[in-house]
Amino acid sequence: MAHDYPEVEGGGSLILAWQVRNKKVLVIGGGEVAAGRILNLLNADAKVTLISPRDGLNDEVAYRVEQKQVEYMDKKFEPTDLDDPAITMVLTAIDDPEASTTIWKLCKEKRIAANIADVPPECDFYFGSVYRDGPLQIMVSTNGNGPKMANIVRRRIESTLPPTMGDAIKKVGALRKRLRQVAPGNEEGPKRMKWMSKVCVQWSLEDLCEMQPEDMDTLLESYEPDEVPTFTKVRSGKDDWEWQFDGSFGWACVV
């Protein structure tokens, strides 16, 4: 019997949004690649520990150290540096393949997820090219095949997105929080998800960007009957037909 199910396409990666907020991540190396890794980690609110001789720091990494945005250890990596049980991830960015492989093997022994820069076989995960607009994050990955191509594809996607996308998502997030206050029970979960989906589909991006707290309050009054009024009706308090015709043309009465 034939089924309309997606075909399995192997060879990919499981792309996840890894939450590293307040978790300790060890970065080994202080050059340009390390600078990009460190910025990504700081944007995700990770606690970054950096190991690198000071003469190996580029200007950006040196700035992060100076601003105390990272915990810095001015030295070369030693195996005992992995003894801290709080370390949840290791990123290496050093120009020494043999040392990188040694670190990889040590991480495997300690079951620590690791990324060895520019050595795909020695990576538990890859970094992609990321587009960021407030809460919106889009990552393009080539599974280690072509980092530059990932950047080109990401820029193409970025060029097609409206500049208001991030603001609209922030407003939707605020509406979801208010909805949970209106309908907090677990049993309301399916209805909440369905109703929020209808709002996102039926309201335009421009509507969502313009939405104010008072509009959210009015909109939430329609949650219980499971309806989604238009933005025009929410803002004006009138039905669409009333809004479209305000009587400004007057009436003619022929006797």
Please name the residue that has the structure tokens 């400004």. Answer: 248
| CA triple 17-21-26, angle to 5 deg | 95
Q: What is the pLDDT of residue 203?
A: 96
113 belongs to a structural domain: yes
Alpha carbon of residue 4 to chain centroid: 31
3 belongs to a structural domain: no
Q: What is the pLDDT of residue 181?
A: 95
Q: Tell me the mean pLDDT in the region 233-253.
A: 57
The answer to whether residues 103 and 192 belong to one domain is: no
CATH number, domain of 112, equals 3.40.50.720
Give tens-digit pLDDT for 198-235: 999 999 999 999 999 999 999 999 999 999 999 999 99
Number of domains, the chain? 3
The answer to whether residues 157 and 178 belong to one domain is: no
Q: Tell me the mean pLDDT in the region 144-157.
A: 90
The answer to whether residues 115 and 76 belong to one domain is: yes
Cα distance between residue 12 and residue 128, in whole Å: 13
Query: Which parts of the chain fold into alpha helices (H)?
Result: 32-43, 59-66, 97-109, 147-160, 165-182, 189-202, 205-210, 213-220, 231-236, 240-244
The answer to whether residues 118 and 208 belong to one domain is: no
Going by pLDDT thresholds of 50, 70 and 90, the confidence category of residue 253 is very low
CATH number, domain of 151, equals 3.30.160
The answer to whether residues 116 and 147 belong to one domain is: no
Using N-to-C axis directions, what is the helix angle for 165-182 and 189-202, rounded to 10°? 150
Q: What is the pLDDT of residue 2?
A: 60
pLDDT exceeds cutoff 60 at 34: yes
Q: Tell me the mean pLDDT in the region 88-106.
A: 95
Q: Coil, strand, or helix at residue 192?
A: helix
Q: What is the pLDDT of residue 5?
A: 87
* Average pLDDT in the chain: 90
| CA distances in angstroms from 204 to 152, 198, 210, 211, listed in the order given | 29, 11, 10, 11
Choice among 11-20, 43-52, 89-98, 168-177 with the minimum mean pLDDT: 11-20
Q: Which residue range is the domain that position 201 belongs to?
A: 165-236
The answer to whether residues 157 and 201 belong to one domain is: no
For the annotated catalytic residues, the residue numbers are 118
Q: What is the pLDDT of residue 239?
A: 55
Q: What is the pLDDT of residue 248?
A: 47
* Amino acid, single-letter form, for residue 162: P
The answer to whether residues 72 and 136 belong to one domain is: no
Residue 197 DSSP one-character state? H
Count the residues in the chain.
255
Q: What is the pLDDT of residue 12?
A: 86
8 belongs to a structural domain: no
Cα distance between residue 65 and residue 127, in whole Å: 23
17 belongs to a structural domain: no
88 within 8 A of 67, measured Cβ to Cβ: no
Going by pLDDT thresholds of 50, 70 and 90, the confidence category of residue 56 is very high
244 belongs to a structural domain: no
pLDDT exceeds cutoff 80 at 31: yes
Q: Tell me the mean pLDDT in the region 52-74.
A: 97
pLDDT exceeds cutoff 50 at 251: no
29: left (phi over 0), alpha (psi -120 to 50) or beta: left
* Joined tokens for residue 98: 């043999």
* Amino acid, single-letter form, for residue 198: K
30 within 8 A of 56, measured Cβ to Cβ: yes
Give tens-digit pLDDT for 37-49: 999 999 999 999 9
The answer to whether residues 208 and 226 belong to one domain is: yes
The answer to whether residues 91 and 154 belong to one domain is: no
Cα distance between residue 252 and residue 250, in whole Å: 7
Q: What is the pLDDT of residue 222?
A: 95
Dihedral sign of CA atoms 82, 84, 87, 93 in order: negative
| CA distances in angstroms from 74 to 52, 80, 141, listed in the order given | 5, 15, 33
Q: Which pairing describes strands 87-92 and 129-133: parallel, antiparallel, or unpaired?
A: unpaired
pLDDT exceeds cutoff 70 at 244: no
> E strand or H helix at 42, and its extent?
helix 32-43
Cα distance between residue 50 and residue 58, in whole Å: 13
Going by pLDDT thresholds of 50, 70 and 90, the confidence category of residue 252 is very low
Higher pLDDT, 13 or 237: 13
The answer to whether residues 112 and 201 belong to one domain is: no
116 within 8 A of 123, measured Cβ to Cβ: yes
The answer to whether residues 211 and 191 belong to one domain is: yes
